[in-house]
Amino acid sequence: MKNEMKIGHREALTLLVTLMSGQVFLSMPRNMALLGDTAGWMIVLLAGIFSLIGYYFLATLLEKYPDQDILQISQFICGKFLGTIIGTVFFLFFLTISSLMLRQFAESFIISILPNTPISVISLFFLFLLIYGTLQGIETLTRVAWFFGPYLLLAFIITIGFSMPYADLELLLPILGKGPLPILKHSALHTSLFSNIILLGIIAPKIREQTKTFRTGLYSLILAIVINTVVTAAVLITFNYTSTSKLVFPIFQLTRLITLGEFIQRVEAIFVFLWFFTAAILMGGMFYGTIISFSHSFGLSNYRPLVFAMAVLIFCISLIPNSMTETVNLDAFIISKYYPLISFGIPLLLWIASRFKKKGDNSNG
Amino acid sequence: MKRNNIFRKLFQLTSNKPEFSLNADSFNPPHNRPADSGDETGECLTTSLAHNRKTLESIFGLPTNKDVVIRDFTITSLNKKALIIYIDGLSDRNAQNFAVLQPLMLLSRGHLETNEPIDIAYERLVPGQQVEKTKKLEDVINGILEGSSALLIDGSAEAMIIETKGWEHRGIDRPSNEPVVRGPQEGFNETFRANTASVRRYIKDPKLITEIMRVGTRSRTLLALMYIKDIANPALVKEVKRRIKSVSETTDYIAETGQLEEFIEDHPRSLMPQMLSTERPDRVAAHLREGYVAVMMANSPYALVLPTNFAIFLHAAEDYYLRWPFSNFLRFIRAISIFIALLLPSFYIAVVNYHQEMIPTDLMLAMTAAREAVPFPALVEILFMEFSFELIREAGVRVPSIIGPTIGIVGALILGQAAVSASIVSPILIIIIAITALASFVVPNYNATFTIRILRFLFIILAGFLGFFGVSFGVFLITLHIANLNSFGVPFLTPIAPYHPQNKDRVIRPRAYDQPKRPIFLRPLDWIRQRDISRPWDKPSSSSSDEGDDNYEE
């Protein structure tokens, strides 16, 4: 009954865009500034273009096997055993991202608005939403994403628009930053920025119009690339790259700049709302991915009993890193190197395997 | 297992299943009372008047029961003993005197010889327009209970049920909870047939169906289910009927549509109203024409329109009678006031407790100065004032109208003026509470107001604990909840999420001639409500609505 509910492609699109753009609230712009100096935005753009290539394989795979998610496809192509291993890899991937995101967002709220609150309180509030949302199913989350999506976008535009008076385009010079080779290298390594697109592999069978799955993913990826690039660039031209690399949450600093005459000042507290919604939607999607990847790779028919257990697991893992900086470094520079291998590498391998499999099938038949 | 149950209970808010707490099989075998008594005394009438009289007397508890009156007389022309039985107060005296007794006793002169006296009476003697012959005791009893008079003649095993309904009732009045400036000024009242007729006056269409059922095994209240046959989706009508039927068999007393609402709604544990209750026939008619189903009950001046969506918080009847710029202005005011009514007190708490940097320095100094003398934390202060305001509101409803003005004096003077001078609350807080109160009166639906009033307290507490983080948590939680709600299979947030581009009447009301399609989320049998070009003399406009609706499924 509930499991049969379908989601519209618009809703799925906003969910995916939020998944891939939520990181701009965290230290993503700062990391890019660290990596590429003035060309940080270019790294994002190129990474986006690389991930578009990676996305092609994922999308063709999903198109070839409609009504099946990436886990079922991998079990179908590679057999039960290998498929389960691949599913476990996906599960670990989602688990890591969910935990790290939970930690980072919780820390970001502590730093920005609630300095005296213990991190567990913030995390537990988020987990409550995740549990509640996931028990209701992904279609609810996508509807919420679609409901808030336009306002989130509007908030981005307002933030960037109002910080433009402080901007100076010359801060983007030298245009290539550390040089073309480092840019290419870093952007290839940081396609992880868009690795959350893999959630499309999980929700694809639920999209009402299967023919639009490809477009949904493509548009969401392009929109996410634009948002990420623009935000990184805006941060770089508002602060310079050296100060950006010292700000933990650059976009929070950006919102602090907003003033409208004498009356509206320091509206960053209002932006807490948009920040919160983005964080909750992002983590909701990732949490759903965690649970579905687990339940589908082990052939469970109902994922709901898993929800509480996974929430506890994610809560515990999120508290493992010692500090905020450690979390950020872990997410941005250490673990994230392996994200693209999972979210783009596995679909590529599956795609290749599926071509062979198809030939084999044809010769048999 | 047990823990699992607790969790399941905690999150059962999400359940999609219609839940009926009373189940026909597990309960006492449900039987209608008249049918019960019919079983005891035999289903049919007999030819003996004395015997019939005895039966009826025992059923109605005569002579203890003084409501039921039996009038014995002789039909002159037939020279037969007869009686009429009716309930005093439910029957119209004039109708009985002039349409039943007078013709039978005085006007029927001459001598008629017959073996079937009831047929003669039916064909020649009783001039009433709605007369029905029956052999069944049950029909007789039902007829009497509804205010008709039953005529029984000696020697005939049939009775005549003569429509003499007529009781004291309120006249048609202005809708007291949904007043409009522009638009029809009449509301429903407690008279069943007057209500159904007033809807029909708006839609003179033979396809407008009024199905009549009874709910409550003991109250046997009349219930009308109205829909337009070639618009409303049959599955929806069937589902509504299924739920009402289930209620009517399982519960003994349903007085009013408000009570019925609780029985048939999808999410009984949710705070959100899931049906539109309205006392305006024009509003019911407008909804019927879009494919909704309306439920009306005798004795209830409120009709239920179902399913409903978030529009219950936003749309008012007047929106459609004003020109579109005006009604959109009102819609914006309403949308803003929903946010104010829900969130303003919690914003105040959050700003005062956690985010002082948000407000300009001068204002903050003023606020701090005003709060200096107040001995309580802001949270206590605002809970106290909100509670007092709720007191005023409730007292205003309950207070006898003679001492009504007292409420104003107590509320305004003591709570406003005196509380500030006594430094119990700060004056800024009074302003906040006042604006919140005004905003909550703007919400057009009475049920929806409750949702907002209750949720406001939740937000205040969340803001007191976690500032804006708590408020945004609350907003997200509520959004998750309403995104999951269904009212008779229609998601609560349609046509926003799931999105239906063809139905533009969401927050902004499109121009009346620019809404060619009926609400597609109702899956109406006929989508087209008016021609695409209702104003052929206009130049073709750029805003056409031929955008495909991808969410539509057959």
**SS3 (DSSP) at B144:** helix
Nearest by CB to B475, from A1, A263, A273: name it: A273
Taking a C-beta distance cutoff of 8 angstroms, is the pair B549, B501 a contact?
A: yes
Burial track A27-45 (b if 16+ CB lie within 10 A, e otherwise): bbbbbbbbbbbbbbbbbbb
**SS3 (DSSP) at B261:** helix
How far does B431 lie from chain A, in Å, by closest CA?
19
B553 band by pLDDT with thresholds 50, 70 and 90: very low
> Are B357 and A269 a contacting pair at CB < 8 A?
yes
Left if phi > 0, otherwise alpha if psi is -120 to 50, otherwise beta: which for B302? beta
Domain ranges of chain A: 9-348
Tell me the one-letter amino acid at A182: P
Mutant choice from A13, A108, A125 vs B, greatest count of B C-beta within 10 A: A125
pLDDT, mean of residues B157-176:
88
Q: Give the H/E segment covering residue A275.
A: helix A268-297
pLDDT, mean of residues B123-145:
86
- Give the distance from CA A33 to its chain's centroid: 19
Place of tokens 């007033």: B198
> Are A143 and B497 a contacting pair at CB < 8 A?
yes
A1 band by pLDDT with thresholds 50, 70 and 90: very low
Confidence at residue B4, expressed as pLDDT on a 0 to 100 scale:
52
Domain covering A9-348: architecture? Up-down Bundle (1.20)
Counting residues of chain B whose pLDDT is more than 70, the rounded percentage is: 90
Confidence at residue A4, expressed as pLDDT on a 0 to 100 scale:
56
d(CA B129, CA B132): 10
pLDDT(B15) > 70? no
B323 band by pLDDT with thresholds 50, 70 and 90: very high
> Are A141 and B351 a contacting pair at CB < 8 A?
no
Nearest by CB to B473, from A9, A129, A148: name it: A129
- Nearest CA-CA partner of B160 in B126, B193, B208: B126
Nearest by CB to B473, from A1, A125, A146: name it: A125
Arithmetic mean of pLDDT over chain B: 84
Residues of chain B neighbouring A132 (CB-CB closer than 8 A) = 11, 14, 477, 480
Least confident segment among B433-437, B480-484, B499-503: B499-503
The CB density around residue A75, as the number of other CB atoms within 10 Å, is 20
Q: How many CA atoms lie within 13 A of A207 on its CB side?
A: 29
Q: A234 to each of A22, A33, A151, A289, B48, how far by Cα in Å?
A: 16, 12, 19, 31, 98
Mutant choice from B468, B481, B521, B552 vs A, greatest count of A C-beta within 10 A: B468
Which residues of chain B have a Cβ shorter than 8 Å from any chain A Cβ? 4, 7, 11, 14, 16-17, 350-351, 354-355, 357-358, 360, 466-473, 475-477, 479-480, 483-484, 491, 493, 496-499, 550-551, 553
Counting residues of chain B whose pLDDT is more than 90, the rounded percentage is: 39
> Are A143 and B493 a contacting pair at CB < 8 A?
yes
Residues of chain A neighbouring B354 (CB-CB closer than 8 A) = 113-114
Confidence at residue B494, expressed as pLDDT on a 0 to 100 scale:
86
How far does B339 lie from chain A, in Å, by closest CA?
14
DSSP A239: S
d(CA A158, CA B535): 39
Q: A309 to each of A303, A325, B26, B231, how far by Cα in Å?
A: 11, 28, 36, 48
pLDDT digits (tens, 9 = 90+) for B71-116: 999 888 888 889 999 999 888 888 888 888 888 888 877 777 777 7
Q: A17 to each of A10, A217, A249, B264, B550, how far by Cα in Å?
A: 11, 9, 20, 39, 20
How far does A147 lie from chain B, in Å, by closest CA?
6
Mutant choice from B9, B353, B476, B507 vs A, greatest count of A C-beta within 10 A: B476
- The residue in chain B having the minimum alpha-carbon distance to the alpha carbon of residue A212 is B550
Residues of chain A neighbouring B349 (CB-CB closer than 8 A) = none
Counting residues of chain A whose pLDDT is more than 70, the rounded percentage is: 95
Nearest by CB to B497, from A128, A147, A308: name it: A147
d(CA A265, CA B434): 25
Instruction: Count how many pairs of residues, chain A against chain B, have C-beta atoms within 8 Å.
Output: 110
> Are B483 and A265 a contacting pair at CB < 8 A?
no
First to last CA, chain B: 41
Tokens describing residue B51 = 């015997």
Handedness of CA A117, A118, A119, A122 (dihedral sign): negative
- Nearest CA-CA partner of A161 in A241, A234, A262: A234
pLDDT digits (tens, 9 = 90+) for B203-214: 999 999 999 999
Confidence at residue B12, expressed as pLDDT on a 0 to 100 scale:
43
Residues of chain A neighbouring B482 (CB-CB closer than 8 A) = none
Taking a C-beta distance cutoff of 8 angstroms, is the pair A113, A249 a contact?
A: no
B527 by Cβ neighbours in 10 Å (0-12 / 13-18 / 19+) ranks as middle
DSSP B182: S
DSSP A333: I
Confidence at residue B472, expressed as pLDDT on a 0 to 100 scale:
94
ipTM of the complex: 0.94
Helix axes A268-297, A9-21, angle to 10 degrees: 110
Q: Where are the alpha helices (DSSP H) in B272-323?
A: 281-288
Burial track A306-327 (b if 16+ CB lie within 10 A, e otherwise): bbbebbebbbebbeebeebeeb
Strands across the sheet containing B221-228: B208-215, B221-228, B293-297, B303-306, B276-278
B348 band by pLDDT with thresholds 50, 70 and 90: very high
Domain ranges of chain B: 33-162, 192-308, 324-487
Least confident segment among A27-31, B1-5, B58-62, B64-68: B1-5
Total residue count of chain A as it appears in this document: 365
Confidence at residue B5, expressed as pLDDT on a 0 to 100 scale:
53
Q: A271 to each of A105, A121, B72, how far by Cα in Å?
A: 14, 20, 82
What residues have CB less than 8 Å from B392, skipping those under 6 apart? B407, B410, B411, B415
> Are B498 and A143 a contacting pair at CB < 8 A?
yes
pLDDT, mean of residues A215-226:
94
Confidence at residue B38, expressed as pLDDT on a 0 to 100 scale:
40
Handedness of CA B238, B502, B444, B437 (dihedral sign): positive
- The residue in chain A having the minimum alpha-carbon distance to the alpha carbon of residue B496 is A147
Tokens describing residue B201 = 């006056």
Taking a C-beta distance cutoff of 8 angstroms, is the pair A320, A123 a contact?
A: no
pLDDT, mean of residues A248-258:
84
> Are B14 and A136 a contacting pair at CB < 8 A?
yes
Confidence at residue A292, expressed as pLDDT on a 0 to 100 scale:
93
Least confident segment among A79-83, A280-284, B334-338: A79-83
Residues of chain A neighbouring B355 (CB-CB closer than 8 A) = 113, 269
The CB density around residue B499, as the number of other CB atoms within 10 Å, is 21
Counting residues of chain A whose pLDDT is more than 90, the rounded percentage is: 44
A263 band by pLDDT with thresholds 50, 70 and 90: low
DSSP letter for each residue of B47-87: S-HHHHHHHHHHHHTTTT-TTEEEEEEEETTTTEEEEEEEE
pLDDT digits (tens, 9 = 90+) for B485-503: 988 989 999 888 888 888 8
Least confident segment among A271-275, A317-321, B266-270: A271-275
Place of tokens 């020697």: B155
Which is more confidently placed, B337 or A208? B337
DSSP letter for each residue of B379-429: HHHHHHHHHHHHHHHHHHHHS-GGGHHHHHIIIIIIIIIIHHHTTSS-HHH
